[in-house]
Amino acid sequence: MPELPEVETIVRDLRLKIIGQQIERIAVNLPKMVRGNQGDFASRLRGLFIKWVRRRGKNIIVDLTGDLSLLIHLKMTGQLFYVSIDSPLLKHTHFIFDFVDNDHQLRYSDKRQFGHMHPVDSPQLEQLPELAKLGPDPLEITLEEFAEVVRRRRRKIKPLLLDQTVLAGLGNIYTDEALHRAGIHPEQLSSTLSGYEVEALYRAIQGVLRKAIEHAGSSVDNYLRIDARPGDYQRLHQVYRCQGKPCSRCDHPIVRKKMGGRGTYFCPHCQKIEPPFKHHEFKGHSKSNLNSKRSMIRE
């Protein structure tokens, strides 16, 4: 569940709490959640100071002294909490970090145990396949670069946007929200998008992500902020888990459809699959082209 806006919120909140702190000890309740050498995880990190916290796609990177970085991926149900040592332990708490001279703990809990923590020598971070393979951040890519990747590939647009090697950070919620905002059908072939549609999609992705970060992410199912408060953006979802509700733009009901194994939410009325644009048809001024939204959009 945690996608770019949720991970970004966690990273920003963590920065305010743990930068400069020294790790006193770590309790590892479920060693298999550690990637790399499980045996020396706690001893390797003990005594180190937290220098910085950052995000790469949906990964959290905690940079420590001693040229060590801790790579954390929450996958679907991972949660990080920074809470008082007195606060009751949640059921699936797998790691507890204690800090020197501090009455708060950093806790990692993960119901389904898909997430992981991975200590890596900082200089070698970028060579890790899981980071090296990631595409550009959707908030940093330029329109030109975005247009290039979208048009060079020949894939349905939704799975393309979900592919972390193409763009790093979008998940199921924000692809559906962005496609709705741009008025593009999730199964539209990426190579058939007009220049206008590519730009609309680019702005929709960035607009949705920025808004979602402003609202501290979407709390559906699992995600909570590090102080256990929920995010706020789920109230602003236009399509995700809104099946049956009227579309905010055209009033037609939002539908849910299984696509490539995942739930996909869209408005079949204002997100239509457009046929590939053919220049010679346009030059001929065929009636269907003149009357379609597409021909108005294209030069």
Partner DNA sequence: CTGCATGTTAGGTT
Partner DNA sequence: CAACCTAACATGCA
| Closer residue to DNA, CB minimum distance, 104 or 116 | 116
Distance from the first to the final alpha carbon of the chain? 39
Q: For DNA, which residue of 159, 186, 217, 231 counts as binding (CB under 7 A)?
A: 159
144 counts as catalytic? no
Packed helices 143-152 and 195-214: angle between N→C axes, nearest 10 degrees: 120
- The CB-of-290 to DNA minimum distance in angstroms stands at 30
- The CB-of-143 to DNA minimum distance in angstroms stands at 20
> Would you count residue 156 as binding DNA (CB under 7 A)?
yes
> Would you count residue 57 as binding DNA (CB under 7 A)?
yes
Q: Which amino acid is at 42?
A: A
**79, 2 in Cβ contact below 8 A?**
no
CA contacts within 13 A on the Cβ side of 106: 23
d(CA 217, CA 208): 10
Q: For DNA, which residue of 164, 206, 248, 286 counts as binding (CB under 7 A)?
A: 164
Give the x/- contact pattern for DNA in 11-30, rule: CB under 7 A. Answer: --------------------
Q: For DNA, which residue of 133, 229, 278, 293 counts as binding (CB under 7 A)?
A: 133
Dihedral-angle region of residue 45 (phi above 0 means left; psi in -120 to 50 means alpha; beta otherwise)? alpha
Candidate list 55, 56, 58, 294, residue with the active-site label: 58
For residues 101-120, b (16+ Cβ closer than 10 Å) or e, as one string? ebebbbbbbbeeeebbbbbb
Q: For DNA, which residue of 35, 46, 262, 269 counts as binding (CB under 7 A)?
A: 262
Q: Which strands sit side by side in the sheet containing 116-121, from one edge to the other?
A: 50-56, 59-64, 68-73, 116-121
Residue owning tokens 């539209």: 188
Residues 66-85 that bind DNA (CB under 7 A): 73, 75-77
CA geometry: angle 128, 92, 76, nearest 5 deg: 45
| Closer residue to DNA, CB minimum distance, 54 or 92 | 92
- The CB-of-38 to DNA minimum distance in angstroms stands at 14
Candidate list 25, 155, 262, 298, residue with the active-site label: 262
58 counts as catalytic? yes
3 counts as catalytic? yes
**Footprint on this chain of DNA (rule: CB under 7 A):** 1-3, 57-59, 73, 75-77, 91-92, 111-114, 129-130, 133, 153-156, 159, 162, 164, 171-173, 240-241, 256, 258, 260-263
Q: Which residues are catalytic?
A: 2-3, 58, 262
